Amino acid sequence: IGGQSPIVTQSMTNTQTADAQATAKQAMQLADAGAELIRITVNTNFAAEAVPEIRKILDDKGYAHLPLIGDFHYNGHILLTDYPKLAQTLDKYRINPGNVGYGDKHEYNFATIIKIAVQNQKPVRIGVNWGSLDQDLLTEMMDQNARLANPKTDKEVIIESMVESALRSAEEAEKLGLKQDQIILSVKMSIVQDMVQAYQNLAQRMQKNNHLYPL
């Protein structure tokens, strides 16, 4: 993923992950339709327990090549800690810096997930979403903008905040031991033109700072 690599098609199941049979069946249907990566939500203890079973079903059915990506919100640090088999089974973790925790808990929760990824040699997708953007960071960026002689528009500041959130998170992940080629960045916005601008800004910042994470 990233650079000159071919575009990879990813899709996400909409089953209850705790239902291993239904989730595995849909994952196979998606793969048959052309999906090359499958993302599943891991949001409860039951979902966490089901992931190794989903993997086994896929392997037994001839889909051992199909990567499983765990999508975490709010409690990923707990689930990955309490269910080591989950952490070992998933091929990649997806986290959103805006909902891994707030205040002091943000740093601890984020670090916990990254350390588990390092221990298990798993890549991490850091996916920033404008709908759940880190409010502390956004406030910081808005305050800085307000002090400028020629302030930028609110939309421009939001786009900058998206980029800043992705880069700060990636740099922190590196400090915790994750390699650059194990960090995948994404920035998601509802207006396509704004999202394109965010990706362009992100690519420019990475080139300037010699941090070339896959996008």
Structure confidence at residue 149 as a pLDDT band (50, 70, 90): very high
Please compute the mean of the pLDDT values over residues 122-130 and round it to a whole number.
Answer: 95
What would the DSSP string read from start to end of the chain? --TTSPP--EEE--S-TT-HHHHHHHHHHHHHTT-SEEEEE--SHHHHHHHHHHHHHHHHTT-TT--EEEE--SSHHHHHHH-HHHHHH-SEEEE-GGGS-STHHHHHHHHHHHHHHHHHT--EEEEEEGGG--HHHHHHHHHHHHTSSSPPPHHHHHHHHHHHHHHHHHHHHHHTT--GGGEEEEEE-SSHHHHHHHHHHHHHHHHHHT-----
pTM summary value: 0.93
Structure confidence at residue 30 as a pLDDT band (50, 70, 90): very high
Note the pLDDT of residue 172. Answer: 96
Structure confidence at residue 31 as a pLDDT band (50, 70, 90): very high
